[in-house]
């Protein structure tokens, strides 16, 4: 576990989401899977599982931001293909 997370937990701070610590890529490794399992045992959850993020709109805003960024990247790639 990263030292900064352990220090925050010892001071009673709220836990960050798993995605903030290990990323949200569909690609994984045995080491990453082990880290996720250890963090889940300690109470860490994904943002999509967080009731507070669902209630206050944080999850929806994150999903909308990611969708917007993906569309912009797709438009950029298409414009590069059209130029060549």
Domain, as residue range, for 25: 1-48
C-beta of residue 53 within 8 angstroms of C-beta of residue 59: yes
> Tell me, what's the pLDDT at 41?
93
Measuring CA to CA, which residue among 68, 82, 9 is closest to residue 44? Answer: 9
> Tell me, what's the pLDDT at 79?
92
Q: Looking at the structure, do residues 54 and 41 belong to the same domain, yes or no?
A: no
Q: Looking at the structure, do residues 7 and 30 belong to the same domain, yes or no?
A: yes
Give the chain's domain count.
2
Tokens 């399992």, residue located:
37
C-beta of residue 49 within 8 angstroms of C-beta of residue 19: no
pLDDT digits (tens, 9 = 90+) for 4-39: 556 555 554 567 888 888 888 878 899 999 999 999
Task: Give me the mean pLDDT over the 52-67 stretch.
Answer: 91
Q: Looking at the structure, do residues 10 and 42 belong to the same domain, yes or no?
A: yes
């Amino acid at each position: 576990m990263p030292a900064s997370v352990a220090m925050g937990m010892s001071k009673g701070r709220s836990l960050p989401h798993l995605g903030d610590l290990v990323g949200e890529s569909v690609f994984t490794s045995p080491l990453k899977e082990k880290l996720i399992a250890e963090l889940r045992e300690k109470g860490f959850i994904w943002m999509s599982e967080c009731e507070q993020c669902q209630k206050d709109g944080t999850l929806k805003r994150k999903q909308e931001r990611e969708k917007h960024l993906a569309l912009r990247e797709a438009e950029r790639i298409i414009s590069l293909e059209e130029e060549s």
